[in-house]
């Protein structure tokens, strides 16, 4: 991971220009509404306050006139509206501060609204990728890291697979057209991992002497 508050990104979402020959295949951000619902449970919060308002109304409707009974439930709805608006604002800020990048060599995640972090994951450090699709076409691609690559759940949140605390799995969270993006990632990773690495063997002193 790398971070520099004062460095200007030469390419949006990347701390530096890609090495020569590395190609950017896809870039994108989370969908704010999907992130609010999936990571911040906006719909569940809205339902909770709706139930509170309904409960308040039913407990006083037999004791008060209809107009006053409705008025007794309105504060719960107003409070719920404020909370949901704040959750959506947090999701929007998080989404705008995030940039996911897939290249032919790695996955790069520029995340964080207050504290910006850049996470570089070469395909050789990714053991598996899981796609979680939603009905609206958005989805999350979670990456299972291998070797010594260890990431904290709180460091990655909300860009992590939910409920995997012991070994956090960084994730491209709530992205549009997730199935197509998963195909791009799978093809790039397969091509990179199966590409043979050719290294020059060190020259033996004995061999030089023999010549």
Mean pLDDT across 182-209: 66
Q: Which residue has the higher pLDDT, 12 or 27?
A: 27
Mean pLDDT across 62-87: 92
The chain-wide mean pLDDT, for the chain, equals 86
Q: Output the pLDDT for position 202.
A: 54
Q: Which residue has the higher pLDDT, 202 or 183?
A: 183
Q: Of 8-17, 79-88, 193-202, which has the strongest mean pLDDT?
A: 79-88
Residue 96: name the closest of 6, 9, 13 by CA: 13
pTM over 0.95: no
23-34 pLDDT tens trace: 999 999 999 999
- 183 φ, ψ to 5°? -65, -40
Residue 37: name the closest of 138, 152, 177 by CA: 138
Distance CA 211, CA 205 (A): 10
Which residues contact residue 122 at a Cβ distance below 8 angstroms, ignoring those fewer than 6 apart?
Answer: 105, 106
137 touches 106 (CB < 8 A): no
Q: Which residue has the higher pLDDT, 50 or 211?
A: 50
Mean pLDDT across 180-202: 75
107: number of Cβ within 10 Å: 24
Both tokens of 204, joined, read 């033996």
The rounded percent of the chain whose pLDDT value lies above 70 is 86
Q: Output the pLDDT for position 208.
A: 42
Between 111-115, 193-197, 200-204, the lowest mean confidence (pLDDT) is in: 200-204
127-175 pLDDT tens trace: 899 999 988 889 999 999 887 767 888 888 999 998 888 888 999 999 9
- How sure is the predictor about 114, in pLDDT bands with cuts at 50, 70 and 90? confident
């Amino acid at each position: 991971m790398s971070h520099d508050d004062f460095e200007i990104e030469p390419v949006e979402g990347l701390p530096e220009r890609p090495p020569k020959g590395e190609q950017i295949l896809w870039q994108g951000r989370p969908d704010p509404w999907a992130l609010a619902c999936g990571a911040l449970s906006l719909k569940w919060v809205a339902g909770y306050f709706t139930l509170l308002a309904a409960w308040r109304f039913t407990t006083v409707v037999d004791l008060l006139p209809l107009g006053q009974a409705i008025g007794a439930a309105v504060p719960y709805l107003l409070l719920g509206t404020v909370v949901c608006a704040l959750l959506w604002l947090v999701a929007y800020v998080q989404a705008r501060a995030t940039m996911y990048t897939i290249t032919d060599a790695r996955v790069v995640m520029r995340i964080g609204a207050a504290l910006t972090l850049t996470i570089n994951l070469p395909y050789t450090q990714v053991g598996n990728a899981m796609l979680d699709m939603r009905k609206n076409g958005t989805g999350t691609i979670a990456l299972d890291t291998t070797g010594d690559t260890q990431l904290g759940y709180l460091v990655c949140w909300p860009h992590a697979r939910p409920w995997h605390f012991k070994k956090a799995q960084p994730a491209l969270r709530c992205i549009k057209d997730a199935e197509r993006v998963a195909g791009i990632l799978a093809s790039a990773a397969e091509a990179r991992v199966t590409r043979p690495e050719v290294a020059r063997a060190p020259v033996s002193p004995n061999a030089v002497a023999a010549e």
